[in-house]
Amino acid sequence: MEIKEFKYFAAVCKHKNISKTAKSLYISQQALSTSIKNLEQKLNTTLFRRTPTGVELTNEGIYLAEKIDSFLEQYDSICTDIYSHFDISKGTISIGITLGILRSLSPMIFIDFMEAYPDIKIDKLDYLDELCKVMVMNETIHTAISIKPVNSTNIDFISIKSEPLMLLVNKQSDFSQLKTVKLKDLANVPLITCDERLQLYHYQIQKFKQHNISPNFIFKTNEIEVMTSLVSQNKGMLICAEHVCLGNRHNNVIGIPFEDKGFVWEYGFLLKKGKPISKNIKKLIDFIINKV
């Protein structure tokens, strides 16, 4: 029997549905069904029975579920202790990187890390913010570098860097003459923004609510070039990180700082709350924070 089979079994117990479980684990339904079938064959029993809405545990499944939770917790804890005791610096770290991070954090930093620790490989996966958060919580990946989550109780966040958010405007706009801008100045102003899959969207909504403002989002896209191009065409304004303003290719736009210095684009490591940090991930965290 394999640990992965037990983890898949525990996930099905949680969701009580093969399709939902497969989606949460980012594997195919066929792969998940095969894993459960293999486990049942090894145990010579049936663990689940089908229902109109999914699956439910058999008596034997209930017995296994009661045993498996504490076993998996102990297994993870023992592995962490062993790696820590023997100072093992080998293996693979699966890490999600969200949209926009590598425009601020050089991808060379991962190459430098693997040169410093040649026995640790980095499996870099590109996902949007919300997906990275879910995958960390489900332990599909070890960690992620993403924007600081808004209202998340299941994630620990270790900050790497923050940049001031700015308002990118067309030079023909009256806003272009301002030294600084306030969020309350943006009431009824046409704004271009990212969509709900990025934390910046939720962060903006949170900030606008604090000022009792309903933002006038006229267009949503996660393509930076499309966003800045629309500002260049004077179709709207864009709240974005400082590096976007500095790196945009349009000469007829300008970035205006916000008066609120706490209005920032902050990113860092996402870790499952309460889960011990492995030696390898600790090395990666320390390496990146010391380099930035």
What are the structure tokens assigned to 43, written together? 């145990």
Given the structure tokens 């045993």, which residue do they identify?
67
- Model confidence at 31: pLDDT above 70: yes
At residue 41, the pLDDT reads 94
Cα dihedral across residues 175, 176, 177, 182: positive or negative: positive
Residue 198 and residue 127: Cα distance in Å, rounded?
A: 10
At residue 236, the pLDDT reads 96
Residue 174 and residue 64: Cα distance in Å, rounded?
A: 67
Q: Would you say 25 and 16 are in contact if contact means Cβ atoms under 8 Å apart? A: no
Mean pLDDT of 132-146: 92
Strand-pairing partners, residue 35, are none
The per-residue pLDDT for range 175-227, each reduced to its tens digit, is 999 999 999 999 999 999 999 999 999 999 999 999 999 999 999 999 999 99
At residue 287, the pLDDT reads 95
SS3 string of the chain? CCHHHHHHHHHHHHHCCHHHHHHHHCCCHHHHHHHHHHHHHHHCCCCEEEECCEEEECHHHHHHHHHHHHHHHHHHHHHHHHHHHCCCCCEEEEEEEECCHHHHCCCHHHHHHHHHCCCEEEEEEEECHHHHHHHHHCCCCCEEEEECCCCCCCEEEEEEEEEEEEEEEECCCHHHHCCCECHHHHCCCEEEECCCCCHHHHHHHHHHHHCCCCCEEEEECCCHHHHHHHHHCCCCEEEEEHHHHHHCCCCCEEEEEECCCCCEEEEEEEEECCCCCCHHHHHHHHHHHHHC
- Model confidence at 242: pLDDT above 80: yes
CA distances from 16 to 20, 26, 75, 118, 208 (A): 8, 16, 24, 41, 38
All structural domains of the chain, each given as residue ranges with its CATH number in brackets, are: 3-85 (1.10.10.10), 91-160+266-291 (3.40.190.10), 163-264 (3.40.190.10)
Q: How many residues does the chain have?
A: 292
Q: Would you say 97 and 144 are in contact if contact means Cβ atoms under 8 Å apart? A: yes
What are the structure tokens assigned to 174, written together? 């009256």
CA atoms within 13 A on the CB side of 35: 21
At residue 249, the pLDDT reads 86
- Nearest residue to 253 via CA among 277, 275, 239, 234: 234
Q: Would you say 130 and 202 are in contact if contact means Cβ atoms under 8 Å apart? A: no
Q: Are strands 216-220 and 54-57 parallel, antiparallel or unpaired?
A: unpaired
The per-residue pLDDT for range 149-164, each reduced to its tens digit, is 987 788 999 999 999 9
